[in-house]
Amino acid sequence: MRPSPKICFAFAILVASVLLIRLPGPAQPTSAVAGAAQGQSQTPPAAPKTTAESTNYAATSTYADVLAFIRDLQKLSPLVRVETICTSTEGRDVPLLVIGKPLPQDPLALRYDKRVVVYFQANIHAGEVEGKEAALMLARDILLDPNLPYLDKIVLLIAPIFNADGNDKMDPRNRMGQVGPEKGSGVRHNGQNLDLNRDAMKLESPEMRGLVRNVLIRWDPLLLVDCHTTNGSYHEEPVTYSWPLCPNGDPAIVKYMREKMLPAVDATLEKKYGTLSIPYGDPVDFRDMDKGWRTFSHQPRFMTNYVGLRNRLSILDENYNYADFKTRVLGNYNLLKAILDYCETNAAELARLVADADSRTVLRGVAPKETDTFGLDIEAQALPEKVTVRGYEVEVIPREGSPFPQMKRT
């Protein structure tokens, strides 16, 4: 295999042309906000409610709240078991829900099972909290609704509070540019003051070491979904997403996700659940939108890129910072359901995709070719298609105690 001095990874790094639609004020983004509610969970009266639901989305769950909710789920259903990903720096066990019908006792029990393993992860940045609430709500609704087909084809793993130490350092002053929850959220870093979403290669934290050992190696999920909140591009869509961007993983996986899976999930999200979404990114230049819409780095220190480097599928979920907390929770919930819809329908195809990618990687090691490449210097290039970003005009309002102004829709 010869190292390539530069790889131009045209179909994963940059969306360079944008169609921006400026919508007139003062109308509210009803299609995005009201639409997010269309897929919200229909909770039976006796079912446990998350902290977000029980406070009308004024607060998010503490670590103790999450554990209490999980205990309630275990009382309600025999289809869920709790494992421990790791013990955090501050001594908290990070829980992993294993949900299946039947419930596998361990990963070896799935060796001859046609079900696929899917892993949902939330709260890696503990100020970005809607994924935590959405994942718990989804676990409850799957366990309580026998008509949902997901468990026929899927074993579902959920880590609702991956950054347990950061979660309970709640303060309304954290992420002041974020719209809710009004009672505050946690902090970005873990108990070591490390950003866990930059630790996928170094594995300096107990959380990331535990994830690799006790989830990625032990259970080998074919798909990881990592839930976040954006830091502030302005658009209508409450949900944004990305495929893995590191070009040194199997290119067939990236191509499949960009050209087939995520367009289908995007369509389901809007048509079935009434939630708008776009590929994750920011304008290259806020003052000139014609310069394009750019996504984040290809580096595998980011969780979803690292998983792609392992020849597995991954989705970065970034929910819109300036949507209210309820809209973000329901948008995240709907996205997870749309992803499960796709995985349930296409389970066999997804399993073949990752198996073929592994076979190609082994062959490259056993019988390398001169044409094999490994990118050392990666350059972003434009995708051929445009992406539509629904924008709106804002009034800039100074925010007391914060260098970041409030952008009020006009």
What's 404's DSSP letter? S
Are 61 and 51 in contact, with CB atoms under 8 Å apart?
Answer: yes
**Tokens linked to 381:** 């290039």
Q: What are phi and psi of 23, to 5 degrees?
A: -95, 145
**Tokens linked to 256:** 């499949």
Query: Which 3 state secondary structure label does DSSP give 206?
Result: helix
Q: How far is CA 75 from CA 28, 80, 407, in A?
A: 42, 9, 45
End-to-end CA distance of the chain: 56
What is the 3-state composition of the chain as percent helix, strand, coil, each rounded to the nearest 5? 35, 25, 45
What are the start-end ranges of the H helices in 93-147?
A: 130-144
Q: How far apart are CA 6 and CA 268, in angstroms?
A: 37
Domain CATH number, residue 265: 3.40.630.10
Using the Cα atoms of residue 254, residue 259, residue 265 and residue 266 in order, give the sign of their dihedral.
Answer: positive
Predicted TM-score (pTM) of the model is 0.89
Domain that includes residue 258, residue range: 2-409
- Return per-residue pLDDT of the chain as tens, 410 residues: 444 434 443 333 344 444 444 443 333 333 444 444 455 666 665 799 999 999 999 999 999 999 999 999 999 999 999 999 999 999 999 999 999 999 999 999 999 999 999 999 999 999 999 999 999 999 999 999 978 899 999 999 999 999 999 999 999 999 988 999 999 999 999 999 999 999 999 999 999 999 999 999 999 999 999 999 998 778 899 999 999 999 999 999 999 999 999 999 999 999 999 999 999 998 888 777 788 888 888 889 899 999 999 999 999 999 999 999 999 999 999 999 999 999 999 999 999 999 999 999 999 999 999 888 888 888 888 888 888 888 888 788 887 877 777 777 77
Give the total number of structural domains in the chain. 1
Q: What is the CA radius of gyration of the chain?
A: 21
Q: What are phi and psi of 231, to 5 degrees?
A: -105, 5
